[in-house]
Structure 1
Amino acid sequence: MSDLTGQPPRSEPSDGEGEVTVLGTAHVSEASVREVEERIAEDRPDVVAVELDQGRYRQMKGEQPDDLDASDLLRGNTVFQFLAYWMLSYIQTQLGDRFDIEPGADMMAAIDSAEEHGIDVALVDRDIQETIQRFWARMTLTEKLRMVGGLAFGVTDSRVVGIMVGLIVGLIAGPALALFGGAVGITEAVYLRAATAALLGLAAALLVDQVAGLAVGGDSRLAAALGSGGAVATVAAMTGAADALVGSLLGGFAVTIIGSLALGVTGGLAFGIVAAGLIGLRGPVEPEAGGIDEMDIEELTDADVVTVMMEEFRQFSPGGAEALIDERDAYIAHQLIGLRNAGYDVLAVVGAGHRAGIEGYLDDPSSLPPMESLTGTETGSGIPWGKIVGIGLSVGFVAFFVLLAMAGVQNGFLLRLFGAWFLINAVFAAGFAKLAGARWSSAGVGGAVAWMTSINPALAPGWFAGYAELRHLTVNVGDISTLNALLSDETKPLGEIVSEMFEVPLFKLIMVVALTNIGSIVASVLFVSYVLPLFGTELGGVDGVSRLMLEGARNSAELIWRTIT
């Protein structure tokens, strides 16, 4: 027997085997709603089976407004699984708005009509969170990046994507320049000029932003601040008038850090802006022949919107499409065959893209895969490179301190080195958390544990900051609808939309978690690129540190040998 809505069947099954009729609908079609209502009234089946699980059913009935467990979103891949869930929700919402009908109206019509006629309702779909988890686990890393990138281009301006890409490239390029810039002719004078231009430009941008805020807002305010900051930075870079003053105030180490980061970020932003411009020159992408934009809404009864999108995914992610489409066909067929074998006459209301697969299994039940293979979570396939790298970094960090200690390096030096590691992680993790709108207490928690989580692949500072932030947030699955509405609003400037998104608890929680983790990663990169070389000069530079680590390894081996023998 399939999972009914929690009530025992009111109707008695007929003698012998029952019958299953599959009705394919479009989840955003008004005609599908009418057809569902008419078929239920005419056929009067024993059971109406719908393509829903318990969670989505209760959400539709208003009984479970918070079926997303907020604490689950703080764990590793669950954040990305949420993004996949959000993407599906956003696309269905967009199509629902286009055709002026609530997504899922066909399923709601089936439930309401069945209850009106006193017919049992069976929920025959697999749990949505289990489906999304399996969908995410089946995708390769490249496929995941392409999917998230597609979501970004679908919901943001290409300029924003270009800027974000540029910042990422810049944050990677900056430390690389600090380590290897001398090999390509970048001198301290170049770093000083770049640092001066960056600091003066930033100061001018902040000043203009505050002044312009008194008269204008939105994109005009942002444009004024960026334009003014860029102009001041350009003049400073061309003239070098303030180089001596900035150099005397900062010192060589700070100049190297700020200058290399400024060069990296500037180059990265230039790359991102050029890329965004090239994308913009292409203009809007023309829909493919026969694509969703060219289809009449009633034609969606041959392939519902989710399946149309997933068939595109199948081209580059067969595993992901299998979890989202094929496995659900088999799961639903298992449920329907159970009802049929129990003697019930069933009208199954499913998305039309599932109809062919389900009917194939109903005609040939022997071809069904075992139910055990369709349920449960998956850990993904392939080599877990992320975990391997994380464990390697952890072992390397601990080995570095242990070997130096075994080589006789003074405890005071090691304590100062550890203090620098703790401080830079705390500042960046807490600072990035605060940028995401975290409370000071939550940002402080993330910063306090960042030194430890940076070397432990099983932990992340964002989890701790997120749990602390949850004490002050009420996260609801309805937040997804709020985010979809904001992203669909074409009347507001982009800056205002982003600002309002941060006021949505679910989005704020995700950003606090993500940015705290990013802050810790940035801190680790900066520590290795800038701070460690500075401390290394006290031990004779890279050569001196290498000799000490080898000496520490020999001393450790001798100690172990003496202990054994």
Structure 2
Amino acid sequence: MAPENLKLIGTAHVSKESIEEVRAAIIENQPKVVAVELDLNRFQNMMAERNGQEKQDINLREIIKGDKLSIFLVSMFLSYMQRKIGDKLGVKPGSEMLAAVDTAEEIGANVALIDRDISLTLKRAIEKMSWIEKAKFLYGIITSFFSSEEIDDVESIKDGDELTEVMEYFKEMSPKAYDVLVSERDAYMSHRLLEINNESVVAVVGAGHKKGITRYMEHPEELPPIEDLLTLKKSRIPIGKIILYSIPLVFVIIFALAILHGINVQTSIINFILLTGTFSFLGCILSGSKIYSAITAFVVAPLTTIHPLLAAGWFSGIVEAKMRHISMDDAVEISKVDSFRELWGNNLFRVLLVVVGTNIGASIGLFLTIPNVVLPLFGKIFGG
């Protein structure tokens, strides 16, 4: 697609002026294609909400497991911060994208979804962050619910977009993650626009992407291969995973050697069960869980702590979810809270807190087994 066929509009996602600008540009230019900064999942959710369709139940098991929890928390934080700005300015976040889609339907134009899948974007961003940067981000999530900072000037927002306008501190906190959120998406959306063959296009994107997309459209030879923007690269084995796998393995080896040497390990096994189970129970109950969830944490912890692919929090979280009757409404409402008190009242948040609390407790219990169980056994095996 030649650049002259493209009308690129940079918007603030919570600006009334942006909604009017989008509608006016589409009606004036009468394009064949209206391209919007949405992926398929966000587009479908937006259409479902517009049409008043029933909400589907969330797959809590998928959220709890693996890196899905991290992605959910990041997404929740971004949604919360954007809604906070939108409430102040009286505009629902993403209204200009909906206006673009509606206006395209009015004039008979096709709609092109040009943004990369948000889950992939967040996975790549999280992958780029160090442990310290992740801790800072978690701190930012927590403090955001206690912040009373107000947003007064919409023009100060128009330098960003849905994933970055409320996350400018990412530049300083994690430049590599910021690059994923902004520069990579500039390149991806430019690729998608170039795939549109010789049609007149009005593209609606966050203002923070306008400069980068314009540069790529004028100099497409500078674009990175699109395959590089769609893969998750693991350049090295994470230290955290090495530790995660090695500690249970060492523990099992020490126990096996003790048994082979005829050493009575009954007391050591009881201590291991009590340490991992008790601290998992405490981590769970201190996170505000139901008693049955905490009991589940106690029972499964001794097994999950020596199995690197399982986590005690998954099981206590699932029990907690069943007792709290989690629904899609909880997922929707979690981004609408205005204070930590309201957040505490959200059932989904409480379940996620139980997951994290249980896993922290189990980890503490496992590490305490090193001086209290593993090292004494090691001494008996090799000390005679």
Q: CA deviation at 1:103?
A: 0.8
312 and 17 in structure 1: CA distance in 2 versus 1, 3 angstrom threshold? closer
User: 2:77·2:335 contact (CA, 8 Å) conserved in 1?
Assistant: no
18 and 67 in structure 1: CA distance in 2 versus 1, 3 angstrom threshold? farther
What amino acid does structure 2 have at the position aligned with 1:433?
A: C
Q: CA deviation at 1:34?
A: 0.8
User: 2:3·2:218 contact (CA, 8 Å) conserved in 1?
Assistant: no
Matched, 1:338 2:189: no
Q: Tell me the secondary structure at the aligned position of residue 459 of structure 1.
A: coil
Output the CA distance in 2 between the equivalents of 1:29 and 1:17. 26
C-alpha offsets along residues 103-158 of structure 1, whole Å, 9 cap, x if unaligned? Answer: 1111111111112222221111111111111111111122111121122222237x
Matched, 1:395 2:249: yes
Name whichever of 473-482 and 140-149 sits farther off: 473-482
Output the CA distance in 2 between the equivalents of 1:121 and 1:151. 34
The equivalences for 1:237-252 within 5 A come to none
Output the CA distance in 1 between the equivalents of 2:316 and 2:68. 16
Output the CA distance in 2 between the equivalents of 1:299 and 1:424. 52
Output the CA distance in 1 between the equivalents of 2:162 and 2:314. 35
C-alpha offsets along residues 416-455 of structure 1, whole Å, 9 cap, x if unaligned? Answer: 3212322343333244334445455544443322102212
Match of 2:311 in 1: 460
548 and 436 in structure 1: CA distance in 2 versus 1, 3 angstrom threshold? closer
Query: Of the candidates 285, 295, 307, which is equivalent to residue 164 of structure 2?
Result: 307
Match of 1:374 in 2: 229
Match of 2:209 in 1: 354
Query: Of the candidates 4, 22, 29, which is equivalent to residue 8 of structure 2?
Result: 22
User: 1:325·1:354 contact (CA, 8 Å) conserved in 2?
Assistant: yes
**Greater share of residues in helix:** 1
What amino acid does structure 2 have at the position aligned with 1:99?
A: L
The equivalences for 1:38-437 within 5 A come to 38-62=24-48, 65-66=55-56, 69-156=59-146, 293=151, 296-298=153-155, 300-304=157-161, 306-339=163-196, 341=197, 343-379=198-234, 381-410=235-264, 414-437=265-288
Matched, 1:509 2:360: no
User: 2:3·2:217 contact (CA, 8 Å) conserved in 1?
Assistant: no
Q: Tell me the secondary structure at the aligned position of residue 111 of structure 2.
A: strand
130 and 68 in structure 1: CA distance in 2 versus 1, 3 angstrom threshold? farther
Q: Tell me the secondary structure at the aligned position of residue 169 of structure 2.
A: helix
C-alpha offsets along residues 13-66 of structure 1, whole Å, 9 cap, x if unaligned? Answer: xxx998221111110110001111111111111111110111111111125845
Output the CA distance in 2 between the equivalents of 1:377 and 1:52. 21
475 and 104 in structure 1: CA distance in 2 versus 1, 3 angstrom threshold? farther
Q: Tell me the secondary structure at the aligned position of residue 14 of structure 2.
A: coil
Q: Tell me the secondary structure at the aligned position of residue 195 of structure 2.
A: helix
Matched, 1:447 2:301: no
Q: CA deviation at 1:395?
A: 2.6
Q: CA deviation at 1:473?
A: 5.6
426 and 307 in structure 1: CA distance in 2 versus 1, 3 angstrom threshold? closer
Output the CA distance in 2 between the equivalents of 1:432 and 1:322. 36
Q: Tell me the secondary structure at the aligned position of residue 90 of structure 2.
A: coil
431 and 377 in structure 1: CA distance in 2 versus 1, 3 angstrom threshold? same
Output the CA distance in 2 between the equivalents of 1:27 and 1:57. 15
Output the CA distance in 2 between the equivalents of 1:350 and 1:86. 21
Output the CA distance in 2 between the equivalents of 1:449 and 1:299. 50
* Structure-2-length-normalised TM-score: 0.87
Output the CA distance in 1 between the equivalents of 2:210 and 2:291. 52
Q: CA deviation at 1:323?
A: 1.1
Q: Tell me the secondary structure at the aligned position of residue 315 of structure 1.
A: helix
Output the CA distance in 2 between the equivalents of 1:128 and 1:453. 31
Output the CA distance in 1 between the equivalents of 2:256 and 2:232. 39
What amino acid does structure 2 have at the position aligned with 1:376?
A: T
Output the CA distance in 2 between the equivalents of 1:301 and 1:408. 71
Output the CA distance in 2 between the equivalents of 1:382 and 1:143. 18
What amino acid does structure 1 have at the position aligned with 2:227?
A: E
What amino acid does structure 1 have at the position aligned with 2:349?
A: F
127 and 306 in structure 1: CA distance in 2 versus 1, 3 angstrom threshold? closer
Output the CA distance in 2 between the equivalents of 1:38 and 1:449. 60
User: 2:34·2:203 contact (CA, 8 Å) conserved in 1?
Assistant: yes
Structure 1 vs Structure 2: percent identity of aligned residues? 35
Q: Tell me the secondary structure at the aligned position of residue 164 of structure 2.
A: helix
What amino acid does structure 1 have at the position aligned with 2:154?
A: I
Equivalent pairs counted in the alignment come to: 380
64 and 118 in structure 1: CA distance in 2 versus 1, 3 angstrom threshold? farther
User: 2:83·2:93 contact (CA, 8 Å) conserved in 1?
Assistant: yes
* Structure-1-length-normalised TM-score: 0.61
User: 2:163·2:181 contact (CA, 8 Å) conserved in 1?
Assistant: no
Output the CA distance in 1 between the equivalents of 2:373 and 2:326. 41
Output the CA distance in 1 between the equivalents of 2:212 and 2:306. 47
Output the CA distance in 1 between the equivalents of 2:110 and 2:26. 11
Output the CA distance in 1 between the equivalents of 2:183 and 2:195. 19
Match of 1:36 in 2: 22
Question: Mind listing any 5+ residue stretches in structure 2 that lack a counterpart?
Answer: none
User: 1:27·1:304 contact (CA, 8 Å) conserved in 2?
Assistant: yes
What amino acid does structure 1 have at the position aligned with 2:381?
A: M
Q: Tell me the secondary structure at the aligned position of residue 61 of structure 1.
A: helix
User: 1:431·1:519 contact (CA, 8 Å) conserved in 2?
Assistant: yes
Q: CA deviation at 1:457?
A: 2.4
Q: Tell me the secondary structure at the aligned position of residue 43 of structure 2.
A: helix
302 and 317 in structure 1: CA distance in 2 versus 1, 3 angstrom threshold? closer
Match of 1:520 in 2: 362
What amino acid does structure 2 have at the position aligned with 1:358?
A: I
Root-mean-square deviation (CA), in Å? 3.0
Q: CA deviation at 1:522?
A: 2.9
User: 1:124·1:335 contact (CA, 8 Å) conserved in 2?
Assistant: yes
What amino acid does structure 1 have at the position aligned with 2:39?
A: D
Question: Mind listing any 5+ residue stretches in structure 1 that lack a counterpart?
Answer: 2-15, 158-283, 286-291, 537-541, 553-565
What amino acid does structure 1 have at the position aligned with 2:81?
A: I
